[in-house]
Amino acid sequence: MPPEVTEVLTTCQTIAVVGLSPKACRPSHQVACYLMAAGYRIVPVNPGHDELLGLPCYPDLASIPTPIDLVNIFRPPRDVPPVVAAAIRIKSRAIWMQVGIIHAAAARQARAAGLLVVMDRCLKTEHLYFKARPDTR
Domain count, the chain: 1
Helix (H) or strand (E) holding 9: helix 3-11
Provide the domain limits for residue 71.
3-136
Largest Cα–Cα separation, the chain: 41
For 131, the 3-state DSSP assignment is: helix
Give pLDDT tens digits for 36-93. Answer: 999 999 999 999 999 999 999 999 999 999 999 999 999 999 999 999 999 999 999 9
Q: CATH number of the domain that 37 lies in?
A: 3.40.50.720
What are the φ and ψ backbone dihedral angles of 82, each rounded to 5 degrees?
A: -65, -30
Give pLDDT tens digits for 9-39. Answer: 999 999 999 999 999 999 999 999 999 999 9
Please state the pTM of the whole predicted model.
0.95
